[in-house]
Amino acid sequence: MKWPGGKYRLVTRICKQLDHGKRLVEPFAGSAAVFLNTNYNRYLLADSNPDLINLYRQLQTEGDSFIEFCRDFFSAKKNNEKSFYEYRSDFNHTDDIRLKSALFVYLNRHCYNGLCRYNAKGEFNTPFGRHHRPYFPGKEMQHFFYSASKAEFIHARFSDTMRRVQEGDVVYCDPPYTPLSETAYFTDYFSGGFNWDDQIELAEWAGKLVRRGIQVVISNHNTKSTRDLYQGAGARMKKFKVRRTISCDAENREMVSELLAVFQPV
């Protein structure tokens, strides 16, 4: 999936910070890049976006036949504005989880800039992207299917996922980032948002789990507020520069400062 803040380019950096353990827990699964590029015995992958979790469950359960069903939506005659808005309407009104999951893949690859955005009614409302030839991620979906036998996928708020963490787990959190500026605020990848109180609650959960001997690693923007929050909760910082992957101008995506907050058991 194209996904705001997807971690594919940072997987190596993230994995260097993760301890060995029996199970990796991700309360913000997103594009599942960390899951797909690690090798734990088991995984608990959660997200607050039910469409994403339903897609992952559908692919986990059905495999190749679902992949071929999704492939049917990727053709030149369906890559146009009329088809896109018809499929978007179908996606927002169908109760058929299999169809909705396949349309989610279609919308993700055909919409503007890969943004996953919903309105106040919870309806997907990203506009048509005018891509010349949208890429169908068939090989990536097959890799996901083979890896998913070790995973449990749940639709849950992060705090509910944190309550399920057990001894021997390692936790990686990729929450919606704090804004670098007021105009850069983007948290509504699913209705409900993610505000500063949620950032505080997540840091508090990290502190609770590390005191139980469980490592927690959190990604975020490198700002004074995030540094103060994580340092106050007992984390050490790993800071670095990355290039934005979501931008309307692909040739001029600027470098931004991010961090990994590592809550390491003593």
Share of the chain above pLDDT 70, in %: 91
Rounded Cα distance, 28 and 146, in Å: 21
Rounded Cα distance, 178 and 229, in Å: 12
pLDDT tens digits, 225-244: 999 999 999 999 999 998 76
pLDDT tens digits, 91-134: 999 999 999 999 999 999 999 998 999 999 999 999 999 999 99
Rounded Cα distance, 21 and 227, in Å: 27
Range list for CATH 3.40.50.150 in the chain: 8-48+156-263
CATH of domain 62-139: 1.10.1020.10
Non-local (6+) Cβ contacts of 244 within 8 A are 253, 254, 255, 256
Please tell me the class of the 8-48+156-263 domain: alpha beta
pTM over 0.75: yes
The predicted pLDDT at position 254 comes to 76
Range list for CATH 1.10.1020.10 in the chain: 62-139
Interstrand relation of 23-26 and 42-47 (parallel, antiparallel or unpaired): parallel
